[in-house]
Structure formats: C-alpha cells, structure tokens
Structure 1
Amino acid sequence: MIDVELPKLNNNDTSYVLVEWLVDDGTEVTTGQPLVVIETSKAQEEIESPGEGVLHSLVKPGQDCRPGQVIAHVFASAEERAEFVRNGEASADAAEHDQPPASGLLITKDAQALVDEHGLSEDVLRGVGRKVIRRTDVEALLARGEPTDTAEARELPQWQRAVGAVVSESMRTIPAAAAYVRVDVDEALALGRQVSDRGGTPFGLPELLVAAVARRHAGHPLFFARLLDDGNVHIPPTADVGVTMDLGKGLFVPVVRDAAAVGAERLGELLMEYRIKALRGAFRASELTDANIMVALHNTEGVVLATPIVFPGQTCVVSLGGTEERLVLDGEGRPVASRYVHIGLVYDHRVVNGRDAMAFLQALKADLESPTVLDVAAG
C-alpha cells in the first residue's frame, strides 16, 4: 500500500480544500497520473499518484485537508483494497464520493456546521461567489449582517483574507527594521532597452533588481536565511526570489528559482510569463512557494518609497519605487536631467543588523548603477 500524502502547496496556508477527484475509487492508476484537485488560497493544484495500483480515497470533495495528511491509498491490487475495506481499517470519513448539491456548491464539513446552525439558504451561500464554501466564508457572511441605509457591508475575497493573515502573522512575529537608498538608473534603463531589443521581451528595472538581489546571495547569505526556532538559521544553497505581482486578480508572489543562474533574456521571458498568469489568475501552486527573499514592486509612477512586510519564513524584502527625475550638473557644469529610484530594504532585526543592511543596499546600488555585471547569460 502506498500513501497519497498532501504536500505543502502554499507557505501562507495551513489548510486546503479538496475540490474534486479526477479518478473514481477502485480505479487502476499509474505513477504520475493526476488524481485530485486541491484548492489553496491562491491557486488550484493537481496531486499526482506516487505509484501504480488501485485508488482508495479517504477525503470527500469539499472537505478541508492539511499539509502532510494522507488523502488516499494506492493498493497493489483490487483484492488488497477489498481486504482493507473488509477489515474495517479504512478511515471513518473515507469517501463514498457524494455528489455536490444541485446548486453546484461544495461545502466543507466545518462550514456546513455553521450553515446548519444559522439556517443559511443556498441562495445566500451563492452570494459568496465561490464553488467551495469554507468556514471562513460563512463566518464572513454572518459577520456582515444586514446592511444599513448609510453603510454597505462588503465581503473581502478569499485571496485578500489570505494576505491579511500573512500581514498579521508578519507584524506579530517579525521585529522589522527598514532602510532606503537612492539609485541613479540612467545606465540601468539603457541596458534594459538593449536586452529588450536583443531578446524581444520587455526588460527593465524589476528584472535588473531581481538579478542584482540574486547576485548577492554568496556575499550576503543571511539575507536569504530562514530563522529556526532554536535561534539558528538555515542558509539556502540558491537565491529563490519571489516577485510581487498584482494586476487586479489578487496579489501573487511567483518565484524565480536559482535566479543567479537565469540569463538576462530568460529572466525577462519568465517575468513576462508570470505577469500573464497573474492577469489570468492561472498560477500553479508550485510556482508560488519556497521563495527565500522577496522583491516588492511599487514602481508605479509617483510612488517614492514603500515599506512592504517581511513574509514569515523569510528574512528580508527589497522594494522598488517609481522612477523620478532630477537636475544634476554634468562634467562641464551644465544642468542635465537624471533619473533615479529609491530601493528599500525591510529586514528581520533578529537576523540582520543595520550595518549589514546598509552594506547590502550599497551593493545593490553599485550593481544597478554599473549594470553591465547583471547582463549575464544563463549559467
């Protein structure tokens, strides 16, 4: 018998919802075959079979599940599965797969308890606008109550509630400090245009900042570290850089894995692919997990400074503000326009001290002001 164990799909979630089984109970499956669809707060992910055999599921559609939970078994034969069932060893909530109600809604067990307690109708639940109704959705409906004549109650979408949970955890657990540096970007913008022309994909300050951050992994490993409960830190072998993206479909933080080894053209292509997925809300959960540092893009015109939060499990986040212009004197004393941005660093003061933070920022500034070091081919 092989266990189908649910992996950790999203660092921000402690539970998920099983949306649907793609294979019926008692069906023969092969290694790598998609078995089930799991929904996180950010995306839906298919879980594949870890081996060959006959499927026996343990969790119904619409039920909550958690990382590490065994949601099914794969037996070597139908006879072995039948023996398992006869012996009464199957989980008490093993699923005969109930069909969803006529409304098409899937209601988790915890949510159903609240629905029954308060007598909520299917019409009310449809107002949530989600196929899978969780306990938090029902709690939000109950908290909303009846709108008054002078105020409108509005439910926050699931993704915003997930963001809120992360922000609250960050503010509660991470003693953060912040610092900023002004960076002249005329040369960086010129290099970005060259790479764009060469590769055919937009390449600008966000891509250059990701490359600059990744390049500093070897010299500043603590900025990529994860603080352990015993006061030690785990230093990852590569710079896996999360990049914030919000194009109206929610905040996503896709990850550029081993970003220091990604060539300039490929980095531009990858971030463009991520922007399209952010616009469509089409990320796989695996694309949104396990970043060890974050680049927060606040580069909308007119934004000067930004102070993002440090994600739990990370040590720092680097922010990029909008591009501004100022007049400076050239070598002959004539006024010329020069463009600059502010780069911010928010860091966990338990791991990094101010002196090291200033050195890290100065290193990023040096790379962006002499950016040819960032125009590298894939390693």
Structure 2
Amino acid sequence: MIDIELPKLNNNDTSYELVEWLAEDGAEVATEQPLVVVETSKAQEEIDSAHGGVLHTLVEAGQDCRPGQVIAHLFETRAEREAFVVARVPAAEEPEAAGSDLVITKGAQALVAEHGITEARLRGLGRTLIRKADVEALLAEPTRTVAAGQELSPSQRAVGAVVGESMRTIPAAAAYAKVDVEEALALAQRLAASGAGFVSLSEMLVKAVARQHATHPLFFSQLLDDSRLHLARTADVGITVDVGKGLYIPVVRDAAALSGEQIGDLMMEFRVKARRASFRASELTGANIMVALHNADGLVLATPIVFPGQTCVVSLGGTQEELVLGDNGSPVVRRHVFLGLVYDHRVVNGRDAMAFLQSLKQCLESPDSLLDADGRGTAS
C-alpha cells in the first residue's frame, strides 16, 4: 500500500479544498495520471499520481484537507484493496449488502430501506463503503441551513490568516513620497502611439522597483531568524491583481531582466487569468518584494501589509492633479502620485527606506532611464 500525501501548494495556506477526484474510487491509475484537483486560496492545482495502482480515496470532494495529509492509498491489486476495506469495517457495522464495488453496512442499509434511497444516490457519495453516518449526511442535505451570520469564503479566510500573521509578527514602519509623473504618463502615451507596446505607470513602477535590487538588496531579503537574512539573487516582484473576483498576487520573476513591454504583457496575462480564476499555484508563490496597486481614481495613498516571508511592499496611489507654477511663472496643471513603502523595521531602517523611495522617485520622474536605446522598456 502506498500513501498519497497532499503536497504543500501555497506557503500562505494551512488547508485546501479537495475539489474533484479525476479518477474514481477503486479505479486503476497509472503513473503521472492526473489524479485530483485541489483548490488553494488563490488557484486550483491538478496533482498527478506518482505511482500506479488501484485507488482508494480517503477524502471526499468538497472536504477540507491539509498539506501532508494522506488523502488516498494505492494498492497493487483490487483484491488487496478489498481486503483493506473489509478489515476497516467495525464489528458493529459488518457489511450487509455488497455489489461488485459497493459495500453497505447494516446500519446504513436500514436507513436506505426506511427512506427508499436509490443506489444512484448512494453512488453519488463517491464512496464504495457506505456507513450509517454517510446515509445520515445524505438525508440531511436537503434541509441543511447556513448558521446565523455570513460565512467568509475560503479565499477571504486565507487573506485573514496572512493579515493576522503579518500584524502579529512583523513590526512594520511606513514612509511616503510624492512623485511627479507627468513625464512618465507622457512617455506611456508616446509608446502606445508608436506601437512600441503598452507600458503604463504600473509597469514602470515594477521595473523601477526591480532595478533597486542591486543597490538595495535588503528590501528583497527574507528574515530567517533574529540574526540571519536570506538575500535574494533576483528581483521577483509580486503584483496585486483584483478584478472583482478576489485578490491575486502573481509574480514577475527576475523583473530587472525584463523590458517594460514584457512586464506589460505579463500583467495583461495576469488580469486575464484573474478574471478566469485560472492561476496555477506556482504563479502565485516566490515573490521577495511586492507592489500593491491602489491606483483607482480618487485614492490618494495606501498602507498595505508586509507579507510574511518578505521585507517590504511598495504601494501606488491614484493619479492626482494640482495647479503649480511653471518655469515662466505661469500656472500649469501637473500630475502626481504618492508612493508608499511599508517595511520590516527589524531589517530596514528609516534612512534606508528614504533612500529607496528617493531612488524610485527619480526613476519615475526621469522615466527615459527605464528605456533602452530603441526607446523600448530596457531589459537591463
């Protein structure tokens, strides 16, 4: 017998939902055959079988499960599995009826007869061993009611767990910078008009943040304990994406090596996947810094949390307009945003935070520095 353990799919989750078995209980499965679909707080992940054999499931579709939990067994033969099933039936619940693949205990059979439950409904449970408790649960389904109060979705519960851990474990501080983005927005418009690709202020900020990795490595580090840090080799930037179907934070890996246009293509792909809820877990893990986009119209600034395992998060507020005096003394309208920086004060001091923000400000106020010789988003 081989145990099938649920792997850890998302560092921020302590439990998942088993969405669907892709092979029936009691079926023969092959090595690398798709076996089960599990939903984390952010994505659905398909898990393949690492071995071949006869499947015996332990967790039903729709139930919660945790990383490392044994969710099924694989047996070499059907006879070996049947012997296992019979051995697990308590003496008080010896099999009363058995078909080719369906075993019903005495207590369950009495309820089945009393309520006229069909074999089709029993098979709908997705189990080959039907106990009294299984039938009772089946009978309770039509009258099941929601407890008083609205339940949080699994996704929101996961968000709550992350926020709680951040607030408990990370002594965060914050700083803000006002950034003139007139030149950056004009550059984005020129790039779009020339057909060089879509590069908005968000893409420029991701590029600018990634560029800080070489000179500000602490902001991309992970605190291992009270005295040790892990310094990241590349800038892997997580970006908040919320299109009304939940918050996702996909990762732009080695963002400093990508052009602004490449980052723009990735962010467009992220938005599409957010609408379809089609992210894989691997696309949502591994960030060592985060950019939180709070750039809706009218929103001035935001103070997001620092994700556990990271050291800082940069926030982008909405674009504001103000009347200022131009070089000739005449009033002109200029556009600006507020950048926020929330950081783990155990790793980063205020002086370093101000230097980091000032560098970002310079990049966005002189956006040509983010372009290569061809006028496209540089990859260096």
Is 1:268 the counterpart of 2:267? The answer is no
TM-score (structure 1 length as normaliser): 0.77
How many residues are matched?
339
Match of 1:66 in 2: 66
TM-score (structure 2 length as normaliser): 0.77
Match of 1:15 in 2: 15
Is 1:176 the counterpart of 2:172? The answer is yes
Q: Measured at CA, do residues 339 and 55 of structure 1 come closer, stay the same or move farther in structure 2, by a change above 3 Å?
A: farther
Which entry has the higher C-alpha Rg, 1 or 2?
A: 2
**Where in structure 1 are there 5+ consecutive unaligned residues?**
107-112, 128-140, 145-152
Percent identical among aligned pairs is: 62
Alignment of 1:59-138 (within 5 A): 59-62=58-61, 63-71=63-71, 78=76, 121-123=140-142, 125=144
What is the CA deviation profile of residues 112-150 of structure 1, one whole-angstrom value per residue up to 9, with x for unaligned ones? x9xx89x9942465x7xxxxxxxxxxxxx43x2xxxxxx
Match of 2:45 in 1: 45
Q: Residue 191 of structure 1 aligns to a residue in which SS?
A: helix
Q: Measured at CA, do residues 314 and 73 of structure 1 come closer, stay the same or move farther in structure 2, by a change above 3 Å?
A: same
Q: Residues of 2 paired with 1:34 and 1:266: CA distance?
A: 32
Moved more, 21-30 or 156-165: 21-30
**Where in structure 2 are there 5+ consecutive unaligned residues?**
90-100, 104-118, 127-132, 372-376
Alignment of 1:148-163 (within 5 A): 153-163=149-159
What is the CA deviation profile of residues 297-347 of structure 1, one whole-angstrom value per residue up to 9, with x for unaligned ones? 111111111101111111111000011112223322222211110000001
What is the aligned-residue RMSD (CA, Å)? 3.5
Alignment of 1:350-369 (within 5 A): 350-369=346-365
Q: Measured at CA, do residues 122 and 369 of structure 1 come closer, stay the same or move farther in structure 2, by a change above 3 Å?
A: same
Match of 1:109 in 2: none
Q: Measured at CA, do residues 22 and 338 of structure 1 come closer, stay the same or move farther in structure 2, by a change above 3 Å?
A: same
Q: Residue 67 of structure 1 aligns to a residue in which SS?
A: coil
Matched letter for residue 280 of structure 1:
R
Matched letter for residue 157 of structure 2:
R
Moved more, 364-373 or 327-336: 327-336
Q: Measured at CA, do residues 120 and 30 of structure 1 come closer, stay the same or move farther in structure 2, by a change above 3 Å?
A: closer
Moved more, 3-12 or 159-168: 3-12
Q: Residues of 2 paired with 1:374 and 1:5: CA distance?
A: 46
Q: C-alpha displacement at 1:349, in angstroms?
A: 0.8
* Pairing partner for 1:278 from 271, 274, 277: 274
Matched letter for residue 271 of structure 1:
M
Q: Residues of 2 paired with 1:201 and 1:91: CA distance?
A: 63
Match of 2:129 in 1: none
Alignment of 1:230-241 (within 5 A): 230-241=226-237
Match of 1:333 in 2: 329
Q: Measured at CA, do residues 171 and 29 of structure 1 come closer, stay the same or move farther in structure 2, by a change above 3 Å?
A: same
Match of 2:284 in 1: 288
Matched letter for residue 18 of structure 1:
L
